[in-house]
Structure 1
């Protein structure tokens, strides 16, 4: 009991420490700029007191095309998550359940890519996506075009395959008994049937974790859209931050916009936190 109390106290302090910036952001999003700076030296900075209103949120929608930016990010993030779960899980299934020569070398090569920062190959990637072909539909005709710049798919496809997601699925799939595969084979299932009917239904925690880890960088993407997207109608929410630092800077509106793009991430994590923790805990267990 004596050891539990300091542990709980330490956890409480950490929660307060990490939650303070979020609480300050949310509370400040309802205050005018003058009051935000006036309350900085007191506890009023994190309390909903004073001139509280929704003016900052109304100002956000007048200053930037927030609806379009949010819709773009939601669509890009959801498609990236869906394709990421499918592609990475299938790759991990081939590496963990199927026996073929060289799979350990392939897995090692995939894991090795984790040490390469995105900034080192961002410019070569821009060059490549500008050369890649794409099929476009014009009425009843298909047209082959060159270059992916200023499109939705250039913000999605380069980030579908992810080395860490493959490794996480690989570790989780390795903990599922191989005897289940043999039983499914006796029932006439092929490799795809084993993947779809046996392995994936048992991998809920891993799927939830990969969904979170794929959603976060897709939602928070800033550098890549700045490099490959010029049209305002195609930009995601993070690029919208730069609108608030042009001409008159309104910190209340910045806080409101930051709250709007942060809350979905918090909701997603809270919704899947148990599965996330369970998958991370079992990732190192091989049965």
Structure 2
């Protein structure tokens, strides 16, 4: 009986891994197609789409598409802009949203449930409904920079960062995670004389690795894929992110090989960021919080 049970467990494990491998292959095939196509001239790329050769490095393979992509558009500048805007937004968002969630969960103050409800209600409001009012506000706001006091945030980095620092989803993730932390830890720290700031920095945040990873990845993907808002507020090439820069490859001569090369290049920061947070992300999926 023990042998039969062991065989059944082994079979279930094998089936599970087979399904996971199949799912992984389905998800990775578009990436393989994109990368392989980026090395092929347009005519060969289109001919190969009808066969398995589209996923193989066969035929006339070269780096010409990458060289032509850099000639057509300032690819490096676009990637730098997106990484800068996304990185700063993610860091500030994690700091501010986690601090707000800490106040909602652990600090007792009048009206916190009402305020939290109002914040969560913003999740049902599409960004398109507030884009125009936000644009009008951003075009008149003052900014103190190296050039002194100026009015209007258009064509800048801050106009792409500030409106997205705090959001209801990120606050909600932190609130739900913090609620699962044992209250005894907070009470013990307060009895020992720790301030709320010390509790936040030294007790709560060291335990928040899984939710930090989850929130960071979700925020990174949203910010890195921004298109509508940068298109509205950025007209100067020096501030354009990668998604707006994609327009350069659909103007005049459309070259699919260059488009695939550009997409391959702008995918690198996403993969690098995901690999950097992979362990913490997996932990966030497997963990349901620390129970007291």
Counterparts in 2 of 1:71-82, with a 5 A limit?
71-82=80-91
Kindly indicate whether the alpha-carbon contact (under 8 Å) linking 1:29 and 1:56 is maintained by their aligned counterparts in 2.
yes
The 5 Å alignment of 1:123-272 reads: 123-138=132-147, 142-143=148-149, 145-272=150-277
Spell out, residue by residue over 1:87-133, the C-alpha distance to the aligned partner (whole angstroms, 9 max, x if none): 10110000011111221121111111111111121111111111222
Match of residue 59 from structure 1? 68
Q: CA deviation at 1:13?
A: 2.3
Question: What is the CA–CA distance in structure 1 between the aligned matches of 2:288 and 2:157, rounded to whole Å?
Answer: 33
- Write out per-residue CA displacement over residues 4-62 of structure 1, whole angstroms, 9 at most, x where no aligned residue: 44333332222222221111001101111111011112111001111111111111111
> 2-side partners of 1:228 and 1:156: how far apart?
12
Which string of whole-angstrom CA distances, capped at 9 and with x for unpartnered residues, describes residues 188-209 of structure 1?
2111111111111111111111
Identify unmatched segments of 5+ residues in structure 1. Answer: none
Query: Which secondary structure state, in structure 2, belongs to the residue aligned with residue 135 of structure 1?
Result: strand
Q: Report the RMSD for the aligned CA atoms in angstroms.
A: 1.7
Q: Does 1:84 align with 2:93?
A: yes
- Residue ranges of structure 2 left out of the alignment (5+ in a row): 1-7
- Quick check: 168-177 or 79-88, which moved more? 168-177
User: Is the 8 Å Cα contact of residues 182 and 290 (structure 2) preserved in structure 1?
Assistant: no
C-alpha separation between the residues in 2 aligned to 1:99 and 1:60? Answer: 56
TM-score, structure 1 normalization: 0.93
Please say if residues 87 and 220 of structure 2, whose CA atoms lie closer than 8 Å, have aligned partners that are also in contact: yes
Provide, for residues 146-188 of structure 1, a one-character-per-residue CA deviation record: whole Å limited to 9, x for no partner: 2211111000000000111101111111122122222222332
Inter-partner Cα distance in structure 2 for 1:179 and 1:5: 43
User: With structure 2 as the length reference, what TM-score do the two structures score?
Assistant: 0.91
User: Alignment length, in residue pairs?
Assistant: 283
Alignment of 1:115-130 (within 5 A): 115-130=124-139
